[in-house]
Chains A and B, each alone.
Chain A
Amino acid sequence: MAKKRVVTTKINGDTVEFLCEPRQTLLEVLRNTLDLTGAKEGCSNGNCGACTVLMNGRPVDSCLVLGVEAEGAEIKTIEGVACGTHLDEVQSAFLENAALQCGICTPGFIMQTEALLAENASPTEEQIRFYLAGNLCRCTGYDKIVQAVQSAATKRQSGCGTTACCH
Chain B
Amino acid sequence: MTTAPKPKYKVIGTRPIRHDGADKVTGRAKYGADIKLSGMLYAAMLRSPHAHANIKKIDTSKAEKLPGVRAVVTSKDIPEQGDRIVELGEGAVNMRHLASNVLAREKVNYRGHAVAAVAADNIHIAEEACKLIEVEYEVLAPVMDVIEAMKPGALVINPDVKDENGKPTNVAKTFCFEKGDVAKGFAAADVVIEKEFRTATVHQGYIEPHNATVHWNNDGKVTVWMSTQGTFSARQQTAELHRIPISDVKVIPMEIGGGFGGKISVYLPPVAAALSKKTGKPVKLVMDRAAVFEATGPTPGSVMKVKIGAKKDGSLVAGEAWVAFEAGGYPGSPIGMGCMCVFACYDIPNAKVDGFDVCVNRPRTNAYRAPGSTQVAFAVESIIDEICEKLKLDPIEFRLKNGSQEGTRRVDGPVFPRIGMKETVQAIKDSDHWRQPLNGKNRGRGVATGFWFNCGLKSAASATVNPDGTVSLLEGSTDIGGSRTAIAMQLAETLGIKAEEVKPSVVDTDSVGYTDVTGGSRVTFATGIAAIEAGKDIINQLKERAAIIWECDAGQVRYEDGSVHGPKGVSLTFKQLADKLHHTGGAVIGRGTSSEATQGGAFGTHAVDVEVDPETGKVTILRYTVAQDAGTAIHPSYVEGQFTGGAVQGIGWALNEEYWYDTNGTMRNSTYLDYRIPTCYDLPKIETIIVEVPDPQHPFGVRGVGEVPIVPPPAAIANAIHQAIGVRMTELPMSPPRVMKAILSK
Contacts and interface: CB of A to CB of B under 8 A. Distances in A.
A132 B124 CA distance: 32
Nearest to A97: B637
A150 B513 CA distance: 43
Interface stretch (B22-30, B152-160, B243-251, B380-388): B22-30
B25 A136 contact: no
Of B27, B28, B480, chain A has the most CB atoms within 10 Å of the CB of: B27
Contacts of A128: 680
Dominant secondary structure at the B interface = loop
Contact of B208 (A40, A133, A135): A40
B17 interface: yes
B209 interface: yes
A95 B482 CA distance: 11
Of B257, B288, B646, B682, chain A has the most CB atoms within 10 Å of the CB of: B257
Contacts of A95: 17-18, 21-22, 25
A98 B647 contact: no
Contact of B686 (A35, A96, A141): A141
B637 A98 contact: yes
Given A132-B680, A136-B207, A137-B207, A41 B33 contact: yes
Contact of A143 (B482, B638, B644): B644
A120 B646 CA distance: 31
Contact of B24 (A44, A103, A129, A138): A103
Contact of B685 (A78, A96, A101, A143): A143
A7 interface: no
Given A103-B257, A136-B677, A38 B672 contact: no
Contacts of B207: 40, 42, 48, 50, 102, 104-105, 136-138
Contacts of A130: 681
A44 B20 CA distance: 27
Contacts of B736: none
A129 B635 CA distance: 26
Nearest to A108: B207
Interface in B628-677: 635, 637-638, 640-649, 671-673, 677
A105 to B, nearest CB: 5
B648 A102 contact: no
A145 B680 contact: yes
Nearest to A148: B25
B258 A141 contact: no
B27 A77 contact: yes
A32 interface: yes
Contacts of A32: 36
A91 interface: yes
Contacts of B648: 140-142
A50 to B, nearest CB: 6
Contacts of B205: 138
Nearest to B675: A47
A58 interface: no
Contact of A47 (B21, B672, B682): B672
Contacts of A115: none
B679 interface: yes
B206 interface: yes
B255 interface: yes
Interface string B12-52: 00010110111011111111011010000000000000000
A97 B644 CA distance: 14
B25 A138 contact: no
A1 B125 CA distance: 10
Nearest to A101: B481
B289 A42 contact: yes
Nearest to B642: A101
Contact of B641 (A39, A79, A101, A135): A101
A82 interface: yes
A19 interface: no
B683 interface: yes
Given A103-B255, A104-B257, A144 B644 contact: yes
A87 interface: yes
Contacts of B26: 38, 78-79, 81-82, 87, 91
A133 B27 contact: no
Contacts of B18: 95, 98
A129 to B, nearest CB: 5
Contacts of A92: 25
A43 B637 contact: no
Contacts of A105: 207, 257
Interface in B586-611: none
B637 A47 contact: no
Contacts of B480: 101-102, 139
A137 B640 CA distance: 15
Given A98-B18, A102-B481, A144-B644, A48 B255 contact: no
Given A87-B22, A101-B480, A101-B645, A41 B27 contact: no
A23 interface: yes
Nearest to A46: B673
A84 B26 CA distance: 11
A103 to B, nearest CB: 4
Contacts of A94: 25
B27 A38 contact: yes
Contacts of A145: 680
Contacts of B286: 41
B322 interface: no
Contacts of B641: 98, 101, 139-141, 144
A110 interface: yes
Contacts of B643: 141
Interface in A116-167: 128-130, 132-146
Contacts of B685: 143, 146
Contacts of B376: none
A43 B256 CA distance: 16
B671 A107 contact: no
B31 A104 contact: yes
Given A47-B672, A140-B644, A91 B25 contact: yes
A66 interface: no
B27 A78 contact: yes
A106 B24 contact: yes
Contact of A98 (B289, B482, B677): B482
Contacts of A91: 25-26
A87 to B, nearest CB: 6
A32 B17 CA distance: 31
A143 B685 CA distance: 6
Interface in B197-239: 204-209
B683 A142 contact: yes
Of A31, A95, A101, chain B has the most CB atoms within 10 Å of the CB of: A101
B260 A138 contact: yes
Contact of A141 (B22, B24, B289, B683): B683
Contacts of A97: 637
Given A48-B207, A138-B205, A138-B258, A87 B25 contact: yes
Q: Which 7 A-B pairs have the closest CB atoms?
A: A38-B27, A104-B257, A141-B644, A98-B637, A78-B27, A141-B648, A47-B672
15 contacts: A40-B257, A77-B27, A97-B637, A101-B481, A102-B255, A102-B259, A103-B29, A106-B25, A136-B677, A138-B677, A139-B480, A139-B641, A140-B641, A140-B645, A144-B640
Given A41-B33, A104-B257, A133-B682, 7 more contacts: A78-B27, A98-B641, A101-B258, A136-B207, A139-B645, A140-B648, A143-B685
